[in-house]
Amino acid sequence: MLTREQAKKLTDKALSFSTFPECEVSVNSSESAFIRFAVNDVTTSGFTVEQSMSITSIRDGKTGSTRVDEFDDDSLRDAVKRTERLALISPANPERVPPLEPQKYPEIENYAASTAGARNQAMIPHIHAIIDGARTNSLVAAGFFERSAETAAIANKQGNFGYGRTTDANLSATVRDSAGSSSGWASRPAVQIEAIDGGAVAKTAIDKCLRWKEPKRLDPGKYAVVLEPTATGDLVQLMGFSMQARAAEEGRSFLSKKGGGTLVGEKLFPEFITLRTDPFNPLYSALPWGGGGFGFRGGGGGGGGLPAERMSWIENGVVKNLFYDRYWAAKAGKPATAFPTRLVLDGGDKSLADLIASVDRGLLVTRFWYIRVVNQQTVQLTGLTRDGVFLIEQGKVTSPVVNFRFNQSPVEMLKNTIAAGRPIRVRGGEGQGMIAPPLLVKDFSFTSVSDAV
């Protein structure tokens, strides 16, 4: 992987081939090791080295882009030339923003050498713990353990340069009974691989599987639900995309006001709802940039490459900020903001058990699956519960329940939230996850029953 010096040399080299007034490059190099297991056996495993450079050349707003993963002089020279030729042919982009002057990037060095160096030998004992635990209980385990290390750099012809490196790891496991009539799941994402404990993941997944036996079939409808942190994260992470100022102003968002304008400043949610971006949270790995554009570099519009920063989207129930890319910010006379990623939904001190104890009749949901947007504007989502739904009666978990399909917007869900517990970092089956608390929500909309296990 590239050191800061190597990355600087490489981006300098690419920029030296540029003949246009503007050229932006970003370079990534990564190493990842993974083991996949299923049916109580290791199935696939690998070690992968990857590198790539994205190059964009601009003259008079005319823009051309390419991506290469060969870094010899000839390949880089050809690539820069190619972007210049593409730009000459392309019409000018009226939404292009000026190149960034040199930026001062914060130090975010959330890099663990232990994670970057871990190979199969370090990962296999955790998988052993899961498979052995499943076998002991006559169950069947499947799962995935991956660790990755990445270095990234951005640079432009105006002398801006940034460098960052990250590590991350995640272990997830699904444990099923041999008849396929019960299933449990758990996962543990962490920047530092030593924080991952296969035994603990096994215990949660096995416990869920053993408890979700002969589930009861309930009618679809509106229920009070206690969402485990992963279930909360599965839905709320999808709200990030809906915080865009442009969509709100253009009447395409839940934050659009009837007749025009946006709902910024309005209190839409309960007092305790605060949703924010925090790339500095030590539970996350993040690069030192990430603001002002849709990618960390930008490209066809919007900009990008501004220093990483904290930003509240919803604060104490009030819509506080919208995402402004550099182009839209300039048009609107507002500062460009962080992109809504590395999300944190704040919570309180209550435990999951406290939330369950406060429910008269409702459902406990482990996680959701196959979540898709039904209506972009209202953020109505559909998807299904998976790996453990339980009935709560008089403050106690009384019986397992057959899975449901839901049609529900996380916006309405947060409006209907009654209480939030302690947040943790979660990563479900889809998306990068977030830091999310367990929630108690009223009137969650389940629309049909699913026989899936």
- CB closer to another protein, 130 vs 308: 130
What number of chain residues touch another protein (CB under 8 A)? 103
Q: How far is the CB of 61 from another protein (least distance, A)?
A: 10
Which residues ranging from 161 to 220 are in contact with another protein (CB under 8 A)?
172-174, 176, 180, 183, 185
327 closest CA partner among 249, 399, 426 = 249
Among 15, 127, 149, 389, binds another protein (CB under 8 A): 127
Q: How far is the CB of 409 from another protein (least distance, A)?
A: 7
Among 45, 312, 399, 432, binds another protein (CB under 8 A): 45
State the Cα–Cα distance between residues 325 and 295, nearest whole angstrom.
10
**Is residue 370 a contact residue for another protein (CB under 8 A)?**
yes
Q: How far is the CB of 114 from another protein (least distance, A)?
A: 18
Query: How far out from the chain centre does Cα 64 lie?
Result: 29
**What is the DSSP-derived secondary structure letter of residue 90?**
S
State the Cα–Cα distance between residues 151 and 423, nearest whole angstrom.
28
- CB closer to another protein, 364 vs 371: 371
On the 0-12 / 13-18 / 19+ scale of CB atoms within 10 A, 154 is buried
Backbone phi, psi, residue 167, to 5°: -135, 155
**Is residue 32 a contact residue for another protein (CB under 8 A)?**
yes
Q: How far is the CB of 256 from another protein (least distance, A)?
A: 4
392 and 154 Cβ atoms separated by less than 8 Å: no
State the Cα–Cα distance between residues 14 and 159, nearest whole angstrom.
13
Element (H, E) at 94: none
State the Cα–Cα distance between residues 404 and 218, nearest whole angstrom.
9
337 closest CA partner among 300, 316, 308 = 308
State the Cα–Cα distance between residues 74 and 8, nearest whole angstrom.
18
Among 131, 319, 364, 441, binds another protein (CB under 8 A): 131
388 phi-psi bin (left φ>0, alpha ψ -120 to 50, beta other): left
Here the tokens at position 59 are: 């003259």
Among 4, 8, 106, 146, binds another protein (CB under 8 A): 146
326 and 302 Cβ atoms separated by less than 8 Å: yes
Among 283, 318, 332, 352, binds another protein (CB under 8 A): 332
Which residues ranging from 226 to 285 are in contact with another protein (CB under 8 A)?
246, 249-252, 256-260
Q: How far is the CB of 419 from another protein (least distance, A)?
A: 26
- CB closer to another protein, 89 vs 219: 89
313 and 337 Cβ atoms separated by less than 8 Å: no
**Is residue 383 a contact residue for another protein (CB under 8 A)?**
yes
Which residues ranging from 47 to 76 are in contact with another protein (CB under 8 A)?
47-52, 54, 63-70
State the Cα–Cα distance between residues 388 and 372, nearest whole angstrom.
20
**Is residue 144 a contact residue for another protein (CB under 8 A)?**
yes
- CB closer to another protein, 12 vs 50: 50
Query: How far out from the chain centre does Cα 10 lie?
Result: 29
Helix 4-16 vs helix 73-89: crossing angle, to nearest 10 = 50
66 closest CA partner among 293, 297, 288 = 297
- CB closer to another protein, 52 vs 192: 52
Q: How far is the CB of 444 from another protein (least distance, A)?
A: 15
- CB closer to another protein, 121 vs 138: 121
Binding segment for another protein (CB under 8 A), chosen from 121-129, 224-232, 389-397, 419-427, is: 121-129
Which residues ranging from 404 to 423 are in contact with another protein (CB under 8 A)?
405, 407, 409
- CB closer to another protein, 218 vs 357: 218
Give the CB-side neighbour count of residue 311, counting CA atoms within 13 A: 25
Site string for another protein, 434-453 (x = CB under 8 A): -------------xxxxxxx
Among 165, 367, 386, 425, binds another protein (CB under 8 A): 386
Q: How far is the CB of 8 from another protein (least distance, A)?
A: 20
Dihedral of alpha carbons 12, 25, 106, 28, sign: negative
Q: How far is the CB of 31 from another protein (least distance, A)?
A: 10
**Is residue 331 a contact residue for another protein (CB under 8 A)?**
yes
Dihedral of alpha carbons 373, 375, 377, 378, sign: negative
- CB closer to another protein, 159 vs 370: 370
**Is residue 46 a contact residue for another protein (CB under 8 A)?**
yes
Among 44, 136, 181, 351, binds another protein (CB under 8 A): 44
